[in-house]
């Protein structure tokens, strides 16, 4: 790697990793109390889940515009804009709590989702200055940085309440004050991103633009496999993760055990991401996706066994940890394929499409999961997961798991 490219690569890695860390703290801190605030402001328990739904939809709606902004201007401007929107959203949420305006709260949560959109685009930004043989690893390091924020964030809910009281605010506004600080620091971090000069850009970026975004995907079965592995993996993960606490609660497993289970799940999602990045670069993205599908299948089987028999904390903890591993494998390997297999003129548009698909798909399945749980119990959730997984597996088989393109 030329010295200039290496310098840009390292600088961007640090900037993006710090942004992910600070943003992760803000997101996790706010999410921890979002449902409680929605219930309190509206006075309706059934609307508690709309806080997270608004954030997910906000992330989905912003994914494509942010990708287009990155394509036309720069990653730095796109990511800075996203964190600025999230910052304004957190400020609006605090104002809504002060004034008791529920609509303003939900709008703020929609803007809050911009931080999630920035985090997803950040994984692609990490590959821009990385050589082909290190793209998976570069992406995984930035994703791993999210682990710190995701673990620290929920534990700041208590101190956040103290901050709220100290500022004369509702205690539940305190965590969003922390989110304001987190998004502000993330915004400052991405301002240190550097663009590649024409001399250090991928020489293939001068290739002519043929067709639109979908045509670019359809030209490459491996790219389609990567897209579906990312989108379906996120859908399975969110639907299962959201309903597991309810399933555990219905079987008398307390909040402490639920917290441990979700903590293990988050560790599976982010903690081993560098391993999957290394495996993607060392072997192939297709093989890592194959492993991810196997992990998803194992997790769903464990969940189905638990649903059909006596519920077990140990079994569910293992299932959720493995679920996180499957998500990590498919996200990193699938995203790497979307970076390598799509021509540079369409790359950012396709990446934005994948992020939008992740969020909209997850929102749809999360909305469907509640009624399914009520009708068929946790077994219905796992069966829905198998159906979604089958779509990804069929596409991957048709692409030969990308082995001809990613070895």
Cβ pair 202, 348 in contact under 8 A: no
**Residue 4 — φ and ψ, nearest 5°?**
-65, -45
The radius of gyration of the chain's CA atoms, rounded to the nearest angstrom, is 21
**Residue 194 — φ and ψ, nearest 5°?**
-115, 145
1-197 CATH, one of 3.40.50.620, 1.20.1250.20, 3.40.50.300, 2.40.40.20: 1.20.1250.20
Secondary structure (3-state) at 247: helix
Give CA–CA dist 402/407, Å, rounded.
Answer: 8
CATH T-level assignment (fold) for domain 212-407: Growth Hormone; Chain: A; (1.20.1250)
Give CA–CA dist 302/313, Å, rounded.
Answer: 11
Secondary structure (3-state) at 170: coil
Secondary structure (3-state) at 309: coil
Question: 17: exposed, middle or buried (C-beta count within 10 Å: 0-12, 13-18, 19+)?
Answer: buried
**Per-residue model confidence as pLDDT tens for the chain (407 residues):** 566 677 888 888 899 999 999 998 888 887 767 777 887 888 876 666 677 788 888 999 999 999 999 888 889 999 999 999 999 999 999 999 999 898 999 999 999 999 999 998 998 888 887 887 888 888 888 888 887 777 777 677 678 888 888 988 888 888 899 999 999 999 999 999 887 544 344 444 444 555 577 777 878 888 889 999 999 999 999 888 878 877 887 788 876 787 788 778 888 998 899 999 999 999 889 999 999 999 999 999 999 999 998 888 999 999 999 999 999 999 999 999 888 888 888 888 888 888 899 989 988 887 788 788 888 888 999 999 999 999 999 989 988 886 544 44
Only one residue has tokens 């293992």, namely 318
Secondary structure (3-state) at 296: helix
Numbered ranges of CATH 1.20.1250.20 in the chain: 1-197, 212-407
Only one residue has tokens 């529920």, namely 102
Cβ pair 61, 53 in contact under 8 A: no
The predicted model scores a pTM of: 0.79
Q: ∠335-338-342 over CA atoms, to 5°?
A: 165
Cβ pair 196, 75 in contact under 8 A: no
Position 45 scores a pLDDT of 62
- Here the tokens at position 130 are 């990385």
């Amino acid at each position: 790697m030329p010295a200039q490219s290496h310098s840009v690569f390292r600088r961007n890695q640090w900037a993006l990793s710090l942004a992910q860390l600070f943003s992760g703290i803000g997101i996790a801190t706010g999410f921890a109390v979002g449902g409680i605030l929605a219930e309190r402001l509206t006075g309706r328990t059934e609307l508690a889940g709309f806080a997270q739904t608004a954030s997910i939809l906000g992330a989905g709606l912003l994914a494509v515009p942010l990708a287009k902004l990155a394509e036309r201007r720069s990653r730095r401007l796109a990511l800075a804009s996203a964190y600025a929107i999230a910052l304004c959203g957190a400020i609006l949420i605090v104002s809504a709590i002060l004034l008791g305006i529920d609509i303003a709260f939900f709008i703020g949560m929609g803007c809050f989702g911009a931080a999630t959109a920035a985090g997803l685009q950040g994984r692609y930004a990490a590959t821009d200055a990385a050589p082909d043989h290190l793209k998976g690893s570069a992406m995984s390091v930035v994703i791993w940085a999210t682990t710190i924020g995701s673990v620290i964030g929920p534990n700041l809910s208590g101190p956040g309440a103290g901050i709220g009281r100290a500022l004369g605010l509702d205690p539940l506004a305190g965590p969003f004050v922390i989110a304001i600080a987190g998004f502000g620091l993330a915004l400052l971090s991405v301002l240190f991103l550097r663009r590649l000069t024409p001399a250090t850009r991928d020489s293939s970026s001068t290739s002519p633009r043929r067709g639109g975004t979908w045509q670019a995907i359809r030209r490459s079965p491996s790219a389609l496999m990567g897209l579906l592995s990312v989108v379906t993996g996120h859908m399975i993960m969110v639907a299962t993760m959201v309903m597991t606490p309810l399933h555990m609660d219905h079987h008398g497993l307390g909040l402490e055990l639920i917290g441990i289970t979700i903590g293990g799940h988050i560790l599976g999602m982010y903690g081993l991401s560098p391993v999957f990045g290394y495996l993607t670069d060392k072997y192939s993205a297709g093989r890592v996706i194959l492993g991810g599908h196997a992990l998803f299948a194992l997790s769903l089987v464990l969940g189905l066994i638990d649903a059909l028999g006596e519920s077990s904390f140990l079994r569910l903890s293992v299932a959720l940890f493995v679920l996180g591993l499957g998500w990590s494998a498919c996200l990193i390997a699938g995203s790497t394929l979307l970076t390598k297999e799509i021509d540079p003129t369409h790359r950012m548009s396709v990446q934005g499409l994948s992020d939008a698909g992740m969020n909209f798909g997850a929102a749809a399945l999360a909305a469907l999961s509640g009624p399914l749980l009520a009708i068929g119990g946790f077994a219905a959730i796992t069966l829905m997961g198998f159906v979604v997984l089958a779509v990804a597996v069929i596409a991957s088989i048709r692409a030969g798991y990308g082995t001809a393109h990613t070895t």
